[in-house]
Amino acid sequence: MKNKTKKNKLTRDKLFIMAINETQQEVKTTKKRNPVFLIILAILVIGGSWFGISKYRHSLHHEETDDAQVSADINPVIPRVAGYVADIRVNDNQQVRKGDTLLLLDDRDYKIKLEQAEAALITARTNLSSAKATTSAAKANIATSQASVGTIDAQIDAAKVNVWRTQQDYERYSNLIKDHSITQQQYEQALAAKQTAEKQLSVLQEQKKQASQQTNAVAVQSNATAQQIGIADATIKQRQVDVDAAKLNLSYTAITAPQDGLVSKINVQPGQFVQAGQALFSIVHSGNVWVIANFKETQLNKMRTGQKVIVRADAFRKHNFQATVSSFSPATGSTFALLPPDNASGNFVKVVQRLPVKIEFIDSSDELVKKLRPGMNVFVDVHLD
């Protein structure tokens, strides 16, 4: 028993000594490694502090966002008249100039309508000539009637003189017949002459009355014919407008480019029927591009128009585009959404809104600027100083 106890004690002593030796070795190793670890830790702390301070100082003078895209004028090609597509003169992604013919519609129907309008215009002009001729004839009839009335007036004056003369003769013969100075035949001849003269005067007065009525009728007809001239003239103007409209619609069968730019994908084929106002394809004005950056409302405190902007496109990461802040949107982007939020209904959850800001390039003639396409992602850095 004693020997076993001694052996156990010796074993514990050996283990204790071995443990002390290992601890001393670990302490020595730790002492050797401590300077490297401290140096690395110091570098990390200094580097992190410098990065944080530089970022903080940068944020005091800059506002950044990657929620930005390139925009440009995109004009849809829309026909003004309906018709069947006869010919397509451009291809996808083709460069076009303002006024270039893009496609042609079948114009046969519009040519027929133009011919109809021109024929109606000729008819209206003929009607005007006829109305003028009728008016001239009516005026001539008025002159004739007035001359006839003048002639009758002269005859009436002569008839009145004749009546006066026969009246005088009758009165003299009436006195003479009482004294039997004349014969009964002479008296009857004087009476007959007096009655004949009175009848002639009465007939002439009736003729004058009829001639005056005829003159009035001709004058009324002349006025009506003159009004027909005005109606015919107005009809000519209306038919001229129809001709102009037909010519304009005929010109619309040739659809031209509204501006310089690149043609998008063409979604029509020859023979397809298109409606007026139907968007066929688009033309992108590549010569005029800008950036729409959506900044948080909390970033707009110090932003002003005219501030310098650095734009970096994902397509050209090594190139810094020089630009300026052009304008601010009158409302946030969510306001113009198809379904704008209505905070008055349901539970309200506050969400930081973004305001679109238009940024224009300073050098629009830069070759890389011309290579930018609408929809490309860019990074925007606004200098607040």
Task: Kindly report, residue by residue over 115-152, the tens digit of the pLDDT.
Answer: 999 999 998 888 877 777 776 666 666 666 656 666 66
Task: Kindly report, residue by residue over 240-266, the tens digit of the pLDDT.
Answer: 999 999 999 999 999 999 888 899 999
- The pLDDT of 326-343, averaged and rounded, is 85
pLDDT higher than threshold 50 for residue 2: no
Instruction: Choose between 285 and 4: higher pLDDT.
Output: 285
C-alpha span between 12 and 31 (Å, rounded): 29
Rounded mean pLDDT of the chain? 80
- The pLDDT of 347-374, averaged and rounded, is 87
Phi, psi of 360 (to 5 degrees): -110, 145
CA angle (6, 7, 8) in 5-degree steps? 90
Domain boundaries, the chain: 62-74+279-383, 79-105+253-278, 108-251
Strands (E), 80-126: 83-88, 95-96, 101-105
What CATH fold (topology level) applies to the domain 62-74+279-383? Elongation Factor Tu (Ef-tu); domain 3 (2.40.30)
C-alpha span between 152 and 211 (Å, rounded): 9
- Give the best-scoring range by mean pLDDT among 13-17, 180-184, 307-311, 350-354: 307-311
366 and 44 in contact (C-beta within 8 Å)?
no
Reported confidence tier of residue 274, pLDDT bands at 50, 70, 90 = very high
316 and 364 in contact (C-beta within 8 Å)?
no
Residues 6+ apart with CB under 8 A from 273: 82, 83, 84, 85
Burial of 313 (0-12, 13-18, 19+ CB in 10 A): buried
Instruction: Choose between 157 and 264: higher pLDDT.
Output: 264
Longest CA pairwise span in the chain (Å): 223
Q: For the domain with range 79-105+253-278, which CATH number is right: 1.20.120.420, 2.40.50.100, 3.40.640.10, 3.30.930.10? A: 2.40.50.100
253 and 110 in contact (C-beta within 8 Å)?
yes
DSSP string, 127-147: HHHHHHHHHHHHHHHHHHHHH
pTM for this entry: 0.61
Query: Residue 73: which of 358, 334, 330 has the closest Cα?
Result: 358
- The pLDDT of 170-180, averaged and rounded, is 70
Q: Range with the lowest mean pLDDT among 31-45, 81-95, 268-282, 300-314?
A: 31-45
Domain 108-251: CATH superfamily, name plus number: Helix Hairpins (1.10.287.620)
pLDDT higher than threshold 90 for residue 321: yes
pLDDT at site 360: 94
